[in-house]
Amino acid sequence: MANVYELLPEIVGEEQIYIGSIIKNMDDQKAMQFANIYRARRKDPQMILLLTLVGFLGIAGIQRFITDQIGMGILYLLTAGLCWIGTIIDLINYKRIAFEYNQKEANQITAMLRNS
């Protein structure tokens, strides 16, 4: 039985609980494989925060492009972050944006490992 604390010590909080629930039923080899792929694909919330702050310098929406929300990224880029209101909201919700992206990636990785 794999331990999330040993495999992915860099994750914390809600993300740690979610990943722990995913890998609890995996054998050690699958859990290690999951952790390696997940570590390469996950987005750090601090990076999302920094990219959101760049939105105030005139390049709004980078955080949305990075998290595969291309439509919102284009909208933010063309509207200056929805007149900075969207950028301010993203500053408040940067952890949620990162968690939702990481959750989607974890589910894709789990499905991929199940099929292999």
Parent domain of 9: 4-115
Prediction pTM value: 0.91
Residues 10, 78: Cα–Cα separation, whole Å: 35
Amino acid at 64: R
Residue 103 has pLDDT above 80, yes or no: yes
pLDDT of residue 1: 52
Mean pLDDT of 3-18: 89
Residues 16, 76: Cα–Cα separation, whole Å: 30
Total structural domains in the chain?
A: 1
> pLDDT tens digits, residue range 36-82?
999 999 999 999 999 999 998 889 999 999 999 999 999 999 999 98
Mean pLDDT of 97-105: 97
For the record, the structure tokens of 52 come out as 């959101």
> Are the beta carbons of 30 and 51 closer than 8 angstroms?
no
Coil, strand, or helix at residue 37? helix
